[in-house]
């Protein structure tokens, strides 16, 4: 079945199938022949243009010798492929991390709105560790999450880096994570990042009250594919891809930008904030 939409879950499945095929060195023609499909049909599956039957997905994973937990993870993506949202909760939240990083790396534009913390793509290591500690994540689990977060940040300095815009409420910057010295380094890192050509940082100061608070979210734009929104709310997070859903968040971001400082004034604000933290 050919799909006219590009749901997030279907796109994630297509990327997983393509990556698994590429690891074997097979062409789409060779892989398609291996399970009795045409090459154009497999291409549509990898590009989220086709609702792939479970039998096709299972056959491809067998052909690519994908087994165990990896096979289970990919097969679970086939559940409700054409749903207009992809939500996870509780201990299922980690399932979103891999597709989130992949979407982020493929995006041409990112609008990152944060009310609680410095956005993950802009966090220094000690700030990230402090955030995870307050959330009860410690030890090897914390090490793995911080390593993954720092790895994600490479997207902003890649040759094909996206246009990245961060909108941060002042409250997120006033919450001390890791102590004053850590916050000095974090804020100065934001100032350094703000000078990067593809990065715009905007702070919404307390004095500009009256703005809506839709919660933290990221809108992801792509060169050819429709946009995706990733949001987090308490113990629930997920992707939205239906046009009416994504438009709500684009509109919310546009409203918030009207309250935010421009890039130059944001750097001045951050410079004063760093001085405040240096004074302790």
Tens-digit pLDDT profile for residues 208-246: 988 888 899 999 999 999 999 999 887 899 999 999 999
- Least Cα distance to 6 among 240, 206, 273, 176 occurs for 240
Burial 205-243 (b: 16+ CB within 10 A, else e): eeeeeeeeebebbbbbbbeebbbbbbbbeeeebbbbbbe
Instruction: Give the Cα separation of 215 and 200 in Å (integer).
Output: 20
The pLDDT, as a whole number, for residue 263 is 96
Is 8-76 a CATH 1.10.260.40 domain?
Answer: yes
Q: In the chain, which segments carry CATH 3.30.870.10?
A: 85-278
Instruction: Give the Cα separation of 99 and 86 in Å (integer).
Output: 11
Structure confidence at residue 33 as a pLDDT band (50, 70, 90): very high
Instruction: Give the Cα separation of 31 and 22 in Å (integer).
Output: 10
Q: In the chain, which segments carry CATH 1.10.260.40?
A: 8-76
Instruction: Give the Cα separation of 167 and 182 in Å (integer).
Output: 21
Give 71-112 pLDDT, tens digit per residue.
998 998 887 787 778 999 888 888 898 899 999 999 999 999
Residue 186 · residue 197 · CB < 8 Å:
no
The pLDDT, as a whole number, for residue 174 is 96
**Model-level pTM?**
0.88
- CATH fold for domain 85-278: Endonuclease; Chain A (3.30.870)
Give 159-218 pLDDT, tens digit per residue.
999 999 999 999 999 999 999 999 999 999 999 999 999 999 999 999 998 888 889 999
The pLDDT, as a whole number, for residue 5 is 62
Q: What is the CA radius of gyration of the chain?
A: 21
Give 44-69 pLDDT, tens digit per residue.
999 988 888 999 999 999 999 999 99
């Amino acid at each position: 079945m050919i799909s006219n939409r590009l749901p997030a879950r279907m796109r994630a499945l297509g990327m997983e199938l393509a990556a698994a095929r590429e690891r074997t060195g097979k062409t789409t023609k060779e892989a398609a022949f291996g399970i009795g499909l045409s090459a154009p049909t497999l291409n549509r599956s990898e590009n989220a243009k086709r609702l792939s039957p479970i039998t096709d997905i299972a056959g491809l994973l067998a052909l690519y010798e994908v087994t165990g937990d990896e096979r289970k993870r990919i097969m679970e993506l086939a559940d409700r492929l054409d749903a207009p949202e992809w939500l996870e909760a509780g201990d299922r939240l980690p399932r979103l991390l891999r597709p989130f990083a992949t979407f982020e790396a493929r995006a041409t534009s990112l609008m990152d709105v944060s009310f609680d913390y410095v956005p993950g793509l802009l966090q220094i290591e000690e700030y990230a560790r402090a955030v995870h500690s307050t959330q009860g994540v410690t030890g090897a689990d914390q090490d793995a999450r911080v390593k993954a977060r720092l790895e994600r940040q490479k997207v902003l300095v890649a040759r094909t880096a996206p246009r990245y815009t961060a909108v941060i409420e002042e409250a997120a910057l006033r919450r001390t994570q890791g102590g004053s010295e850590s916050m000095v380094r974090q804020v100065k890192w934001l100032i350094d990042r703000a000078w990067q050509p593809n990065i715009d940082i905007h702070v919404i100061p307390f004095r500009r009250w009256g703005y809506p608070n839709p919660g933290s979210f990221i809108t992801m734009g792509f060169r050819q594919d429709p946009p995706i929104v990733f949001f987090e709310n308490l113990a629930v997070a997920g992707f939205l891809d239906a046009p009416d859903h994504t438009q709500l968040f684009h509109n919310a971001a546009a409203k918030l930008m009207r309250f935010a400082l421009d890039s130059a004034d944001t750097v001045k604000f951050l410079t004063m904030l760093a001085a405040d933290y240096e004074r302790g």
